[in-house]
Structure 1
Amino acid sequence: MRNDDPKTLARHIVPLVRPSDVLFAVGPAFDGRDPWAAPQLLLIGPGQPPRGVTATVGAMRWGTYSVAGSDPVRLGFWTSQELSAIAETVEHLALAARVPAVRAHFPRLDTGTRKLLHDLRRGEVLAGASEAALWRERLGLDQLHVYVAAIHLRRFAARRRQAEGLLDDGDVEDAGWMLSECGAELLAALLATTGETNPRRHWHPRLLRLHEKTVGADEAACVLRLLRHGPCGRDGADAIRAALWDADRLHAQILRRCPSLPDSSARSATVARNP
């Protein structure tokens, strides 16, 4: 058994944890990406962090600690107040998914917040199981993949419009770059349809390979072509327009794969065109 497995970590960290706290093991070592990566812990609690944890209320901080002679452990602290504020944003997201009038003010979840939600969803609870269950329910983590898909499809729609505008202006080079951005957004949305919510873009191609049987070989090949596409000679504009048509078809397939997404929230901003 590794000296940094969850049970060993819990035995040495739990004494720092108060009854109202929750301790998770998170990161690539515990969500299936890299079982040999350095462990990371995430602590949630009200007010000031417990003794031995360096953090300030209202600030998301990480520190590095050695536990019983093991390799250094990354430990992050989030206050209950911070999570309550995130829960309000998530509630707004859920409302925006149901009510068209709210979608004009679609809430924003930055990468750091989405990383936190992903960790809370996929992490292993080491202490405070009942509190962890309450937070997972309040944060709507069972629907996190739906929110992630909606966020990235909206971004895809915006980047697609930019690509079309650049082509109309004769700026083929920047349109090719924007096409790769369209591919990145569709890749994140496609992964979300499998339940994958990791927001780190550099992990997405590897995660696509892991989920290729679920998403389908054709869809995986299509999104990778979009990521790697670029302008090519005088035929570049036509090639990019053809690739945008492929992107639209992949967008429609993502909507079919994720029926929880309302069509109007993700489809309205994208107008498919024949190449």
Structure 2
Amino acid sequence: MRSDDPKLLARHLVPLVRPSDVLLAVGPAFDGRDPWAPPQLLLIGPGQPPGGVTATVGAMRWGTYSVAGGDPVRLGFWTSQELSAIAETVDHLALALRVPAVRAHFPHLDLGTRKLLHDLRRGDVLAGASEARVWRERLGLDQLHLYVASIHLRRFAARRRQAESLLENEDVEDAGWMLSECGAELLAALLATAGETNPRRHWHPRLLRLHKETIGADDTARVLRLLRLGPCAAGGADAIRAALREADRIHAGVLRRCPSLPDPSARSATVA
């Protein structure tokens, strides 16, 4: 079995999957971002992985596994119990989007959880199709783009306030760095309006090019200028303030595309 052949990898692993398990092909090799990337498989099931799948590099969330004595496979494993806990958080997040009083306790989804939700939403189901449908519905993955956009808009609002505070204290260099962070958060929110929920920042510029037609040339150009301006902004504080006004235009564009999103700009937002 060749470790770079995803179909062979899946064929060796599928017989080991129990009826209650879900097996998906995920990652850049499967969604068109990078066909030359190593294949990745995501396994969801109760308790421990099934027999025949043994970890070779520690008890990692994502690790290299030996499948039925074959070549190593990049495999992620999550338990059904863990997904049930995530579903409760997602329910709270969905409520926070609708009920202002709940937003003071806005739920946190860490990077690993957002990556899992993205993979479960976009992955190619190799086994356990009915279970995969149940999890996709229970986790509200049809609304994942709204959750992601809301998270990044809140982070943008917090970083924008930090940039303003730094400018008031004449700390132009750090304000420039914070401007770059504003641009990164807005880029992720813009991608979410186009249905793109990949949380990995290093993919976002490439994904922006792929979704440029949907996002629009103006907002694409604006967010790229924010990312390029960074801490060495020519023109100092005045240039950074002008860039923040451009950021506000991008923020308004995100809200226009997703009118059901709450506007966190006038509220206190905790940096996640």
TM-score, normalized by length of structure 1? 0.90
SS at match of 2:43: strand
SS at match of 1:77: strand
Query: Among the aligned pairs, what percent are the same residue?
Result: 84
- Cα deviation code 1:128-155 (max 9, x no counterpart): 0000000000001000000000000000
Q: Structure 2: any 5+ residue segments left out of the alignment? A: none
Q: Structure 1: any 5+ residue segments left out of the alignment? A: 271-275
Distance 1:108 1:232, change over 3 A: closer
Deviating runs (4+, > 6 A) in structure 1?
Answer: 68-71
Match of 1:20 in 2: 20
Do structure 1's residue 129 and structure 2's residue 129 form an aligned pair?
Answer: yes
Distance 1:70 1:226, change over 3 A: farther
- Cα deviation code 1:191-223 (max 9, x no counterpart): 000000000001101110111111111111100
Residue 268 of structure 1 aligns to which amino acid in structure 2? A
- Superposed CA RMSD: 2.2
TM-score, normalized by length of structure 2? 0.91
CA distance in structure 2 between the partners assigned to 1:262 and 1:230 by the alignment: 28
Match of 2:167 in 1: 167
Do structure 1's residue 254 and structure 2's residue 254 form an aligned pair?
Answer: yes
CA distance in structure 1 between the partners assigned to 2:199 and 2:234 by the alignment: 36
Match of 1:273 in 2: none
SS at match of 2:28: coil
Residue 237 of structure 1 aligns to which amino acid in structure 2? A
Checking the alignment, whether the CA contact within 8 Å between 2:222 and 2:246 is kept in structure 1 is yes
Distance 1:22 1:231, change over 3 A: closer
For these two proteins, the number of residue pairs brought into alignment is 264
Checking the alignment, whether the CA contact within 8 Å between 1:158 and 1:269 is kept in structure 2 is no
Residue 148 of structure 1 aligns to which amino acid in structure 2? V
SS at match of 2:206: helix
Checking the alignment, whether the CA contact within 8 Å between 2:226 and 2:243 is kept in structure 1 is yes
Distance 1:38 1:232, change over 3 A: closer
SS at match of 2:53: coil
Match of 2:119 in 1: 119
Checking the alignment, whether the CA contact within 8 Å between 1:4 and 1:70 is kept in structure 2 is no
